[in-house]
Amino acid sequence: MAKKEGKPAGKRKERKKAQAGKKGKPALAKATAATGKAKSKKAAPASKVREQPKSPLPPQHQEKPGIEARMTPPPEYQAPLYKGAEKLQDKAALITGGDSGIGRAVAVLYAREGADVAIVYLPVEQEDADETRRAVEAEGRRALLLPGDVCDPKYCREAVERTVKEFGKLDVLVNNAAFQQSQESLEEVSDEQWDQTFKTNIYGYFYMAKAALPHLPKGGAIVNCGSITGLEGSKQLLDYSATKGAIHAFTKSLARNLVERGIRVNCVSPGPVWTPLNVADKPAEKVAEHGAETPMKRPAQPEEIAPAFVFFASEADSSYITGEVLTLLGGETTGG
């Protein structure tokens, strides 16, 4: 019996396979899209912009020192858009005021970059410190809690010694603890308030730096937290602004002093930030407008300030930078 004329059997099989493959592609595309392995051409790309709360914020006030867990909305510190790159891998850092606000956000990002973190805070802030410890440990690093007062030089020495004992070293010191109390006139600033502000904001920085210095290696870093008030002044924050100006000068002077030892000293100087420091200082109605005067019409969130502290701590990022004061002002410009 004669065979019918046509394409060879092998080619017919190949054509059927190709057709079957074409029919199967939509189902495969759906399956991979569902698991995130394929992107639809029509689907909009995921937004890389993180919307932050704008002023006015809910009116609120707390007694000092203020507890972050009781703020509404809570400050943003987890920085989900920030990806670690092992910039501080196996380093040891000590952060004063590390229980909340900027200090907590810095602790989380340092841990994400591979560092173990010691956290200095007032005993009354234990609730916030416990949350910071959980956040650091969630990043896979160790957290050491060190309740105490940076106004006490003996405590500062003990905090450094305990950090070195626990982690075996100290690579980065972050001076961040602060006291702030607004007053309308110089006459309202008591001698006790003046002492409290200076002892916390600049004496504490001096005590901690002096205690840490014998342990900081070449390549180590000190990162201080200043404020735009230290550059521009503030009519209601006479003592606070004076200490922040002192921090800026201390940063530049200490940087020159330590440059030959290979230890860098820099300062992050923010504008308004959503932290317990301000909620525990201003009346509720003024807290609601905190940051509204900036071009961005809102205060910074701690997670937006913390990457600057990573930058100054990281040799990979700032090995040629010391004695700098970096302002983060939500679009405000200075000097013009």
Tally of CB atoms within 10 A around 247: 24
Q: What is the pTM of this model?
A: 0.84
**CB–CB of 169/218 below 8 Å?**
no
**CB–CB of 97/306 below 8 Å?**
no
Would you identify the CATH topology of the domain 89-328?
Answer: Rossmann fold (3.40.50)
Interhelix angle 238-258/204-212, nearest 10 degrees: 20
H runs (alpha helix) in 70-152:
101-112, 126-138
Ordered by start, the domain boundaries in the chain are 89-328
Measured CA to CA, the distance from residue 273 to residue 298 in angstroms comes to 9
**CB–CB of 247/224 below 8 Å?**
yes
First to last CA, the chain: 99
* pLDDT string in tens for the chain (336-residue length): 444 344 444 444 444 444 444 444 333 333 333 333 333 333 334 557 788 877 788 888 988 998 888 888 999 999 999 999 999 999 999 999 999 999 999 999 999 999 999 999 999 999 999 999 999 999 999 999 999 999 999 999 999 999 999 999 999 999 999 999 999 999 999 999 999 999 999 999 999 999 999 999 999 999 999 999 999 999 999 999 999 999 999 999 999 999 999 999 999 999 999 898 888 888 888 888 888 889 999 999 999 999 999 999 999 999 999 999 999 999 988 643
Q: Annotated active-site positions, please?
A: 240
Strands 264-270 and 325-328: parallel
